[in-house]
Amino acid sequence: MAPRRSRAKVSPSLVSFGRRFRRFREAKGWSQENVARRARDGEGVTPQYIGQVETGRTRCTREFAEQMDRELEADGDLVELWEDLVKGAEFPTWYEWLPVEETAEELTSWSLSLVHGLLQTPGYAEAQLNGDKEKTEERLARQNILTRKNPPPPGCTFLVDEGVLLREVGNPQVMREQCDHLIQAPKSLGVSLHIVKMRGEHPGNISSFTIATMEDMREVAYFECPARGFTLEAGDELAATRRALREVRALALPVDQSLDVIRKVQAERWT
């Protein structure tokens, strides 16, 4: 079951930019595939990314707009539209994170208190969401990005605080199953999973977060709080998040040692 989009709030300015972008493309008689091959100095992007830009589901960089302006012979109009419509556009709500997550090339996540939603088992997700079946289905549906064929799944790195393994969610059986899923994830899902031993002095103790790297190399950070999640793209804020990520990553165990830690906690605490 795919996540419902009824509550999504696509930025009107991004929709407007996407429509004008599509008109320039269609005026040249080019398909999305044709335009996609010309992006990033010939390295290209996926046609799906062009579709996301045209429907306002993602926010492209100025560099992308400049190159597309040249390729589409827009005489600077596309760059002006980017300045007017895209530069200040925001992704204000949790639901706006979904198109970022779905179209990212890479996802790097730091989990301080709970297993990341993309790695949660049904039992863990339902317990954490207080038995809400609808929200559980929506969360589990997000995990389809890890097993899809076209486009390929994003490269995913999950950094998990050791305390996540010790914090009971649901009951011991739920935790045993969740530990099993984490142990299998690197092989079954092709993700990187690293345990970070509990320490109180690194900046990752402030909050969990995820950094998405998009096809045009733009980065978007996502944070969760009790009221809602929110995204960040501002340079200074994103730079601070990257610094925190570097410090957390420096404390992370290799994958094989991380799996040993999960097995040890599972055997000692959740049997």
Model confidence at 94, pLDDT cuts 50, 70, 90, reads: very low
CA distance 104 to 228: 21
Q: Which of 173, 181, 175, 146 is nearest to 163 (CA)?
A: 175
Instruction: State yes or no: pLDDT of 58 exceeds 70.
Output: yes
pLDDT of 1: 35
Summarised one tens digit per residue, pLDDT across range 152-201 is: 899 999 999 999 999 999 999 999 999 999 999 999 999 999 999 987 77
Residue 262 within any structural domain of the chain:
yes
Residue 1 within any structural domain of the chain:
no
Same domain for 105 and 74, yes or no, is no
Count, residues in the chain: 271
Same domain for 129 and 262, yes or no, is yes
**If you search the block for the tokens 């970022």, which residue do you land on?**
100
Exposed (0-12), middle (13-18) or buried (19+): which is 5, by Cβ within 10 Å?
exposed
Residue 102 within any structural domain of the chain:
yes
pLDDT of 4: 41
Residue 5 within any structural domain of the chain:
no
- CATH code of 53's domain: 1.10.260.40
Residue 6 within any structural domain of the chain:
no
Summarised one tens digit per residue, pLDDT across range 228-239 is: 667 777 677 788
- CATH code of 156's domain: 3.30.870
Task: Return the percentage of the chain with pLDDT > 90, whole number.
Answer: 59
Same domain for 158 and 99, yes or no, is yes
Number of domains within the chain: 2
Amino acid letter for position 90: E
pLDDT of 169: 97
Summarised one tens digit per residue, pLDDT across range 106-147 is: 999 999 999 999 999 999 999 999 999 999 998 999 999 999
Same domain for 73 and 189, yes or no, is no
Residue 136 within any structural domain of the chain:
yes
pLDDT of 44: 83
CA distance 240 to 222: 13
Residue 250 within any structural domain of the chain:
yes
First to last CA, the chain: 33
Same domain for 70 and 114, yes or no, is no
Please state the rounded mean pLDDT for residues 206-214.
90
Q: Are 77 and 131 in contact (CB under 8 A)?
A: no
Please state the rounded mean pLDDT for residues 8-32.
85
Same domain for 59 and 139, yes or no, is no
Residues 6+ apart with CB under 8 A from 100: 58, 91, 212, 214, 220, 222, 231
Residues 6+ apart with CB under 8 A from 1: 137, 141
Instruction: State yes or no: pLDDT of 2 exceeds 60.
Output: no
Instruction: State yes or no: pLDDT of 80 exceeds 60.
Output: yes
Same domain for 60 and 105, yes or no, is no
Please state the rounded mean pLDDT for residues 52-71.
88
Task: Return the percentage of the chain with pLDDT > 70, whole number.
Answer: 91
Q: Are 174 and 128 in contact (CB under 8 A)?
A: no
**Cis preceding-peptide flag for 151 (omega within 30 of 0):** yes
Mean pLDDT lowest among 42-46, 79-83, 229-233: 229-233
Which range marks the domain in which residue 51 is found? 12-86
Same domain for 164 and 41, yes or no, is no
pLDDT of 112: 93
Same domain for 30 and 47, yes or no, is yes
Question: Among 86, 119, 150, where does a domain finish?
Answer: 86
Same domain for 133 and 249, yes or no, is yes
Model confidence at 6, pLDDT cuts 50, 70, 90, reads: very low
**If you search the block for the tokens 């895209």, which residue do you land on?**
86
Residues 6+ apart with CB under 8 A from 133: 126
Q: Which of 122, 156, 252 is nearest to 196 (CA)?
A: 252
Exposed (0-12), middle (13-18) or buried (19+): which is 247, by Cβ within 10 Å?
middle
Q: What is the pTM of this model?
A: 0.72
Q: Are 100 and 57 in contact (CB under 8 A)?
A: no
Q: Are 128 and 169 in contact (CB under 8 A)?
A: yes
Q: At 167, list the tokens.
A: 């914090």
Same domain for 214 and 108, yes or no, is yes
Q: Are 74 and 23 in contact (CB under 8 A)?
A: no
Question: Among 69, 86, 103, where does a domain finish?
Answer: 86
Q: Are 137 and 1 in contact (CB under 8 A)?
A: yes
**β-bridge pairing 192-196 and 219-224:** unpaired
Residue 107 within any structural domain of the chain:
yes
Q: Are 209 and 222 in contact (CB under 8 A)?
A: yes
Same domain for 47 and 112, yes or no, is no
Question: Among 63, 86, 109, where does a domain finish?
Answer: 86
